[in-house]
Amino acid sequence: MILAGPPAAQALLDEARTRAAALPRRPELHVIRLGEDPASVSYVSLKEKKALEVGLGSTVHALPSATSQAELLSLIERLNADPAVSGLLVQLPLPAFIDSERVLNAISPEKDVDGFHPVNVGRLWTGAAALPPCTPAGVVRLLDYYGLPVAGQRVVIVGRSNIVGKPLAALLLARDATVTIAHSRTPDLAALTREADMVVAAAGRPHLITAEMIRPGAVVIDVGVNRVGQTKSGKAKLAGDVHPEVAEIAAALTPVPGGVGPMTVAHLIMNTVLAAERLQAGEQPSELVEVELLA
């Protein structure tokens, strides 16, 4: 079975549209982008397009690449305080002279639709209501869409990043999976993955996972998107972390492109709606939540 992302993503967007329409005020997504990096411009444009498609407001703050950290933090502070803003994100990567961690931590956890703030990370691991990182949450929704079980499954995640591997482990543990996180220094990785009912490849290494590393009938989720050259038309040629031959023995496999990628953008839109629902319901501001968590 090929686990195509577009139909699952559309179902998630349809749900976001319905929930947004039920709110007293339209959710508003604000994206801050520094510079004119073509990949960032394209990705931000896609986010804006999807937000508008489901009836959300969308504003892109396109700043010069020379914008200072102080100016960027001042804008974030203003958007944090604006009740009309439901979701806020800063498009990465940022210029080298800016402290990306400080910038991301300056975003209010209640508006952190990327799910990167330490408060949201802590909430995720403790089972509290959180805005989860979009790619891991998208993977879970993809599994749900295709009716693939998680509870009781032995899952090996290859990749330990804060953006995918670690938060996905938290989400799958919450669904009663037995989860192992592997990485570049895991000895005999193949022996580990062959025991898994489900393998998630998120290491950022093209074709790392080969057929002999997969148990026949396993589910394989390929999160990797690696540039491996150009097509004849000049477009980037992409490859996943999973070798195409895995399709011959896996029960289900996500394609690259067209698998997890659409789910990431769709869950960003859903996170914006979730944030709007909580903010419009009058939940506590982030500073009070942080004090309670640290007490």
Tell me whether residue 14 is one of the annotated catalytic residues: no
Is 144 a catalytic site residue? Answer: no
Which one of 91, 112, 153, 222 is the catalytic residue?
A: 91
Residue from 112, 114, 197, 222 carrying the catalytic annotation: 114
Q: What span, in angstroms and rounded, lies between the C-alpha atoms of 160 and 122?
A: 17
Residues 6+ apart with CB under 8 A from 104: 90, 112, 114, 116, 117
DSSP string of 261-293?
HHHHHHHHHHHHHHHHHHHHTTPPPHHHHHHHH
Distance, CA of 173 to CA of 186 (rounded, Å):
21
End-to-end CA distance of the chain: 49
Q: Which residue among 47, 50, 111, 166 is the active-site one?
A: 47
The tokens for 271 are 């996170």
CA angle 74, 78, 82 (to 5 degrees): 170
Q: How many residues does the chain have?
A: 295
The annotation status of 5 as a binding-site residue, yes or no, is no
Residue 17 among known ligand-binding residues: no
Say whether 45 counts as a known binding-site residue: no
- Which amino acid, one-letter code, is at 247? A
Q: How far apart are CA 221 and CA 255, in angstroms?
A: 8
Cβ count near 210 (within 10 Å): 14
Report how far residue 254's alpha carbon sits from residue 256's, in angstroms, rounded to the nearest whole number: 7
| 41 is annotated as contributing to ligand binding | no
Residue 153 appears among annotated catalytic residues: no
Residue 285 to residue 263: CA distance in whole angstroms: 29
Name the binding residues for NADP(+): 159-161, 225
Name the binding residues: 159-161, 225
Which residues are designated catalytic? 47, 91, 114
